[in-house]
Structure 1
Amino acid sequence: MRQLSINRLKQGDVLGRTIYANDGRVLLGRGIAFTPSYIERLRDLGINIVYVDDEETKDIVLEDVITEEHRREAMASLEFSGQAVQVGKDFDGFKVKKAVNNIIEDILFQKEIFISLTDMRSYDNQIFAHSVNVCVLSIVLGKALGLDQNNLEALAIGALFHDIGTVKLPKELLRKRESFTTKEEDLYKTHTSLGFDILRSKRELNLLSAHIAFQHHERMNGSGYPRKLEGEGIHQLAQIVGIADFYDNMVNDGPGHTRMLPHEACEILMGCSDKLFPHDLVVTFLKHIAAYPTGCTVKLNTGEIGIVVDQNKSLPMRPIVRVLLAGQDLNQVKAKEYDLVKERTTFIESIFE
Structure 2
Amino acid sequence: MRFISIYNLKPGMVVAKAVYNAEGQMLLNKDVVLTDSYIGRLKELGISGIYIEDNISQGIVIKDVISDETREKARAFVKSTMKQISVNRHVDVQKAREIVDSIIDELLDSHEMLVNLQDIRTKDEYTFGHCVNVSVLSLMMGIALGYDRMKLRELGTGTLLHDIGKVCIPDSILKKPGKLTKDEFDEIKRHTIYGYQMLKENGNISGYSCYIALCHHERPDGKGYPFGLKGDNIHQLARITAICDVYDALTSDRVYRSKMKIPDAVEYLKSMAMSQFDYDLVKIFLKFIALYPVGSGVVLNTGQKAIVVRNNPEMQNRPVVRIIKDEQNGDYEEIDLMEHLSVFIVDTYEV
User: Is TM > 0.5 for Structure 1 vs Structure 2?
Assistant: yes
Cα deviation, residue 255, structure 1: 6.1
Give 1:245's aligned amino acid. D
Match of 1:80, SS state, is helix
1:338 matches 2:332: no
- Secondary structure of the residue aligned to 2:273 is coil
**Aligned equivalent of 2:163:** 163
Q: CA deviation at 1:25?
A: 1.2
- 2: CA distance, partners of 1:21 / 1:331: 31
| 8 Å Cα contact 1:295-1:308 kept in structure 2 | yes
* 1:284-315 C-alpha deviation (Å, 9 max, x unpaired): 11011001111011111101111001001112
Q: Which residue of 2 aligns with 1:9?
A: 9
Query: 3-state SS of the aligned residue for 1:78?
Result: helix
The one-letter code matched in structure 1 to 2:71 is R
Q: SS at the partner of 1:350?
A: strand
Q: Deviations over 1:76-120 (max 9, x none)?
A: 221221111111242321111111111111101124500011111
- What amino acid sits opposite 1:212 in the alignment? I
Q: Does 1:153 align with 2:150?
A: no
Report matched runs for 1:257-272 at 5 Å.
Answer: 257-272=257-272
**Cα distance in 2 between the residues matched to 1:299 and 1:76:** 37
Q: Is the 8 A contact 1:47 1:120 kept in 2?
A: yes
Q: After superposition, what is the alpha-carbon deviation per residue over 1:202-246, rounded to whole angstroms, capped at 9, x for unaligned?
A: 222211001001110111111111111110010100001110001
1:260-286 CA distances to partner (integer Å, 9 max, x unpaired)?
Answer: 111110111111111111111101110
Distance 1:25 1:227 in 2: 40
Give me the TM-score of the superposition, normalised by structure 2.
0.95
* Superposition RMSD in Å: 1.6
- Cα distance in 2 for partners of 1:210, 1:256 equals 29
Take 2:179 and 2:12, find their aligned partners in 1: how far apart are those partners?
A: 36
Assess, with a 3 A threshold, how the Cα gap between structure 1 residues 55 and 331 changes in structure 2: closer, same or farther: closer
Q: Please state if 1:215 is matched with 2:215.
A: yes
**Aligned equivalents of 1:15 and 1:181: distance in 2?**
42
Is structure 2 residue 22 aligned with structure 1 residue 22?
yes
- 2:303 matched to which residue of 1? 303
Counterpart of 2:239 in 1: which secondary structure? helix
Structure 2 Cα separation of the partners of residues 185 and 341 of structure 1? 46
Partner of 2:50: 50
Instruction: Give the Cα separation in 2 of the matches to 1:237 and 1:39.
Output: 41
Of residues 238-247 and 54-63 in structure 1, the stretch that sits farther from structure 2 once superposed is 54-63
Aligned to 1:290: 290
Q: Is the 8 A contact 2:131 2:162 kept in 1?
A: yes
Structure 1 residue identity aligned to 2:305: I
From 345, 348, 351, the counterpart of 2:345: 348
Q: Name structure 1 gaps, 5 residues minimum.
A: none
Higher relative contact order, structure no. (Cα contacts within 8 Å, ≥ 6 residues apart): 2
Deviations 1:39-79 (A, max 9, x none): 11111111002111002212011111111111111112212
Identity of aligned residues (%): 39
Once the two structures are superposed, the pairs formed by residues 86-235 of structure 1 within 5 Å of their partners are 86-235=86-235
**1:182 CA drift (Å):** 2.3
| Structure 1 residue 10, shift from structure 2 partner | 1.2
Tell me how far apart the structure 2 counterparts of residues 70 and 177 of structure 1 sit (CA, whole Å): 32
Deviation at 1:341, TM superposition (A): 2.4
Gaps of 5+ in 2: none
| SS of residue matched to 1:98 | helix
Aligned partners of 1:234, 1:14: CA distance in 2, in Å?
48
Q: Distance in 2 between matches of 1:137 and 1:322?
A: 28
Q: How many angstroms does 1:175 deviate by?
A: 2.6
Paired position in structure 2 for 1:314 = 314
Query: 1:49–1:119: 8 Å Cα contact kept in structure 2?
Result: no
Change (3 A) 1:93 1:331: closer
User: How many residue pairs are counted as aligned between the two chains?
Assistant: 350
Q: Secondary structure at the match of 2:292?
A: coil
8 Å CA contact retained: 1:15, 1:50: yes
Provide the C-alpha distance between the structure 2 equivalents of 1:192 and 1:331, rounded to a whole number of angstroms.
Answer: 50
Q: In the aligned structure 2, how far is the partner of 1:202 from the partner of 1:317? A: 46
Contact 1:174/1:254, CA 8 A, preserved across alignment:
no
Instruction: Give the letter for the 1:351 counterpart.
Output: T
Query: What's the offset of the Cα at 1:183?
Result: 2.5
- Structure 1 length-normalised TM: 0.95
CA contact 2:298–2:348 (8 Å) conserved in 1: yes
Contact 2:91 2:199 in 1 (8 A): no
